[in-house]
Every structure is written in structure tokens, then in C-alpha cells.
A and B are shown apart, each in its own frame.
Chain A
Amino acid sequence: MQEPQFEFMREFLLQQSGLVVEESKMYLLRTRLQLLVREHGLADLNALADKIKVQRNGELANQVVDAMTTNETLFFRDQYPFDALRDVMLPECTANNGSAIRIWSAASSTGQEAYSIAMTVAEALPGAAKRVHIVGTDISEQALQKAASGKYSQIEVQRGMPARLLIKYFEQDGNNWSLKPEICNMVKFKGANLVSPGLAADMRANGPFDIVFCRNVLIYFAVDARLEVIDNLARCMREGGFLVTGAAEIPRGQHSEWKSVPVGNRNLWRLVKKP
């Protein structure tokens, strides 16, 4: 791949999705985009870059972003966020009367995080599930489609999922497992780009959120982009709302709007002042 095309692709990915590709990592483009180049009958990566240059928002551009981002996820990933949801966040949110509780899985990938939230809610608040509205969003159309189907392979349902919950909330058809409607119906999915300035407007109809999970996505972004995203998330939340990120995703330092709340040996963020 030639230098100008590589530079263009780096800039394109950063603008379009927040993804940082380091200068030394040209091979990442090569390994992840080779298939697209072939599928579209293009000569090479340079041709792909040139094509996107003239159509930054087309189908091909989306496919490039999709191929470059990691969709890897699993049910109940890291466990502690879901324990904290049950033990800290939900009790806090249910304390104030019978109003709706809005939860957002931002960067939901193929849905495991959003559905793990739904199962946690169903376990913790049986009967109250109707009060809880969960929305999952992602930049990847393909991931969203799979998420909305609620269908998973035998391998996927065995990563992170306790057997007890698999029995309770899934239906089996050979090697295919589908979430029961009682869980599926708790979650809606839609497209949203975390680095888009229109994010708050796009999410207005679903918010303001009491709880936001934004995990294992900021890690791919540059530090200032991460700060911009959490600022954007704050605009979609209510004051006092909770934000769950991955372990090292928010740079340490002063965040006047956020308070760090220790839970076990991890921490959650709490929005103390709405921007």
C-alpha cells in the first residue's frame, strides 16, 4: 500500500469511527481489508482507498469500518459490571418510585452485553422488567442485525453464560440457541456512531439514560476522542446516572462532571453534573 493512500485511510477511519491505526500498523489494513478488496474486484488496497475517497459514506465505506473494528464480545463479559448492576445500580434506580429505568449498551456489537443486562434485570427485578428499557447501539450494521435476531451458536452461548441462565432464557434448536421473547422484547437495537456530533440528538428518543455501558470500544480511540465520547454520553444521561467503561478506557485525571465510585476493586462513573 502506498503512503498517501495509507494516510488517507488512517484519517478516514479516525474521522468516521474514532479508530486509531498507528503509523507502524499498515499490515492491519492489509490483513483486515484483503477480503473486501477481492469481493469488490478491486486491484489492491490503493484502489480501495481511492474508491472511498470519492464516496466516504457509501456501503463500501461502512464495510471498511466494519472490517477494521473488532466485534469480539461475550455474555456477562468480566462479570463484575453485571454484579454491580444488580447490587448497586438497579437498587439505586428503583429506589425513586416506579418510573422507567433506561439503560444503554453503547457499542453493543452482536448483542451479548445488552442481553446480559436484560437477563440481570429479569433476575433482579422479576415483574418489574416492563419498567426497564434497554437499547443497544453500534456502528456496524451487520453486528446490529445479528443482535436483533437474538440467535447465537452453541459456542457463543457457552462463553460467559451460566448454564442456569441458558436453561432459563433460551430455546434450543440443535446447535442454534435463541433468546426467549421475554428477554428479546426488553431490548431494542439501532445504529449510532459514538464519535458523531449528532449522537445526543440520535439518542434523545431513548433517553435520558440512568445507566450506560460503554465498554471495550473507547480503548481503540485516541485519548481526546475518548473524552469527547464520554462528554457526548453525559449529554444523553440524567444527573446521577451511572457509566460503566472497561478497566483502562477513561484516562485518569480530573473529570469535573464525573465521580468515580468504587465497587469491589473496580470502579463505576457517576455523572454529578450534566454538561
Chain B
Amino acid sequence: MFGKVMVVDDARVVRVSLGRIMKSLDFEVLKCEDGQQALDTLREHPDVKLVMLDWNMPVMNGYDFLVSIREMDEHKQQPMVIMVTTEASIPSMMKALAAGADEYVMKPFDIEMIKSKLDLLGVAYQQ
């Protein structure tokens, strides 16, 4: 196992497909449907090391989730965040990176894209 990953997306198909990809790379996968659930899950599992984060979601969107975790106690271990979203524009990418996203994936994604982003971040996974 290469650690815990949160897959946060309001669309079930994405939670399933992205969850399956992350499992195949030998991560333990926790799934959440919105930013608020993600905050609660993160509180329960402070050892989550990576969040795959949708932008547009009800209750709390991915961007607000990102901003609120990056505001938390800076001594606490912060998970890495990869945005995985249909927001495919340079301004949204800039906004997410400025708020503390580590990488950015524009949907649709595939396993090669995800692996290449993990490589960029130096996150180990099952080859």
C-alpha cells in the first residue's frame, strides 16, 4: 500500500473510475461526495497524503475545500492536492495553483495522465 488517497467528486461515475485507478496503483481509497464530507474525512484520517479533488460540487466546492485546508495549522502535515475537474481554462488553473493545489488535471483523464502527475509530484505508486 502506498498510503491513503481521498477521491472527492459529486459524480458517482468519477468516484468509481478514479477510485479504481487509484486502487490499481495500490492506494487505499476514501471517497467523498463534496467538500464538507472531505473536511470531515480528513479530520478522521489525518494521514491522508493525497486528495484528488473535483471543483464543482454541491454543499462545499473543491476550491473552498482547498482554501480551508491550506489555512489550517501549518505545522500539521498537509496532503497534496491534485485538482481533477472540467474547469479547463488557464485562469482556473492559475486560481487553483495560487490557492495551493499541487497539480491540475482537466477531465477527461486516463491512468497515464494520473501516473504522470504522480511522477511530477514524486508520489510513489505500484508500477
Stretch at the interface among B8-16, B29-37, B49-57, B103-111: B103-111
Q: B82 — nearest CB in chain A belongs to which residue?
A: A163
A155–B97 contact, CB under 8 A? Answer: no
B120–A79 contact, CB under 8 A? Answer: yes
In angstroms, Cα B88 to Cα A166, docked, is 12
A window 46-78: CB within 8 A of B = 74, 76
Q: Report which of A162, A167, A172, A175 forms a contact with B120, defined as CB distance below 8 A.
A: A162
B97–A163 contact, CB under 8 A? Answer: yes
The proximity string for A residues 160-176 relative to B, scoring 1 for CB distances below 8 Å and 0 otherwise, is 10111011001010010
B98 to A: closest C-beta gap in Å: 10
Q: Report which of A160, A166, A167, A170 forms a contact with B116, defined as CB distance below 8 A.
A: A160
B90–A158 contact, CB under 8 A? Answer: no
Q: Report which of A160, A164, A170 forms a contact with B97, defined as CB distance below 8 A.
A: A164
In angstroms, Cα B117 to Cα A154, docked, is 14
Contacts of A158 in B (CB 8 A): 105-106, 109, 113, 116-117
A window 5-53: CB within 8 A of B = none
B93–A167 contact, CB under 8 A? Answer: yes
Cβ of B71 under 8 Å from chain A: no
Contacts of A163 in B (CB 8 A): 93, 97, 101, 103-104
In angstroms, Cα B119 to Cα A42, docked, is 45
Cβ of B89 under 8 Å from chain A: yes
A112 to B: closest C-beta gap in Å: 12
B116–A154 contact, CB under 8 A? Answer: no
Cβ of B94 under 8 Å from chain A: yes
Contacts of B105 in A (CB 8 A): 158
A167–B112 contact, CB under 8 A? Answer: no
Q: B119 — nearest CB in chain A belongs to which residue?
A: A79
Cβ of A204 under 8 Å from chain B: no
Cβ of A131 under 8 Å from chain B: no
Cβ of A159 under 8 Å from chain B: yes
B84 to A: closest C-beta gap in Å: 11
In angstroms, Cα B106 to Cα A158, docked, is 8
Contacts of B101 in A (CB 8 A): 163
Q: A170 — nearest CB in chain B belongs to which residue?
A: B90
Contacts of B112 in A (CB 8 A): 159
Q: B114 — nearest CB in chain A belongs to which residue?
A: A158
B93–A74 contact, CB under 8 A? Answer: no
Contacts of B106 in A (CB 8 A): 154, 158
In angstroms, Cα B103 to Cα A162, docked, is 7
Contacts of B119 in A (CB 8 A): 79, 160
Contacts of B88 in A (CB 8 A): 154, 175
Given that A79-B119, A154-B88, A154-B106 are contacting pairs, would A166 and B113 also be in contact in the complex, using a CB cutoff of 8 Å? no
In angstroms, Cα B106 to Cα A172, docked, is 13
Contacts of A172 in B (CB 8 A): 89-90
In angstroms, Cα B103 to Cα A166, docked, is 11
The proximity string for A residues 135-179 relative to B, scoring 1 for CB distances below 8 Å and 0 otherwise, is 000000000000000000011001110111011001010010000
Known: A159-B112, A163-B103. 6 other contacts (CB 8 A): A158-B106, A167-B90, A167-B94, A167-B97, A170-B90, A175-B88
Subset of 27 A-B contacts with CB under 8 Å:
A74-B116, A79-B119, A79-B120, A154-B88, A154-B106, A158-B109, A158-B116, A158-B117, A159-B112, A159-B116, A160-B116, A160-B119, A160-B120, A162-B103, A162-B120, A163-B97, A163-B101, A163-B103, A163-B104, A166-B90, A167-B90, A167-B93, A167-B94, A167-B97, A172-B89, A172-B90, A175-B88
Interface residues of B, Cβ cutoff 8 Å to A: 88-90, 93-94, 97, 101, 103-106, 109-110, 112-113, 116-117, 119-120
Closest 8 CB pairs between A and B?
A: A163-B104, A158-B113, A160-B116, A159-B116, A162-B120, A167-B93, A167-B90, A163-B103
